[in-house]
Amino acid sequence: MAISIVCYSNTGNNQVLADHLAERLQCGIAHVTERRRRSWLNTLLDIALGWSPSIEPLQIDLESYRHVVVVGPVWASRLASPLRSFLRDHGHELGEYSFISVCGYARPEQKHRLTDELTRRVGHAPRAVCELPVSELLPRPQRNDVRVVTPYRICDDDLREFADRIDAFLKEAGLIPRAAALERVS
């Protein structure tokens, strides 16, 4: 079963998720790396103007994999701009793929918008799309405070909170059978 993960992580949150998935799926990770250092101003301009930054060439033959799991953040209910660059440069190489994100929030219709954007950029729909919102890990009074949500850094314990969603994602993507998901919980 040839599976690979392609990951972009600005804060490290999605890297923690990618590492977790790579261990579970026994596969490697290819990293999307920007040519220039990212600043908060770059991020705001990318979001506001829809820019896609230059990225380093990916050192992987995506067409040789049966399934590629794309891992990365969501900015303003859209794919992070470095992921848009990755899909611009490599989307045509993706066969079967899925997308999962540690994101700040799960906004209404966000999953649908992400699915539509992925479908448009790649040319065909992903097998599965999953959001793991940091806001849900916080106490209720802090969930809507962007000053608390944005700097939050996840750890393995946080991923345990999302275990059922991660299992459902992997099952929907066809990467683990239902029985394997149940065994992991035991």
In sequence order, the 6+-apart residues with CB closer than 8 A to the CB of 133 are: 103, 104, 105, 106
**Is the overall model pTM greater than 0.85, yes or no?**
yes
pLDDT averaged over consecutive 10-residue blocks of the chain (186 residues)? 92 97 96 81 66 83 96 93 95 97 94 97 98 97 94 95 97 78 46
Check which CATH number belongs to the domain holding 150 and give it. Answer: 3.40.50.360
Domain range spanning residue 163?
3-185
pLDDT of res. 25: 96
- Report residue 13 as tokens: 């949150």
pLDDT at 179: 44
| Domain count for the chain | 1
Strands, E assignment, 36-149:
67-71, 74-75, 78-79, 96-103, 129-133
Q: In what order do the strands lie in the sheet with 3-7?
A: 28-31, 3-7, 67-71, 96-103, 129-133
| Residue 46: per-residue pLDDT | 66
pLDDT the model gives residue 169:
98
Residue 34's pLDDT is 83
pLDDT of residue 1: 54
Given this model, what pLDDT does residue 185 score?
A: 45
Res 43: pLDDT: 65
Task: Specify the pLDDT at position 88.
Answer: 94
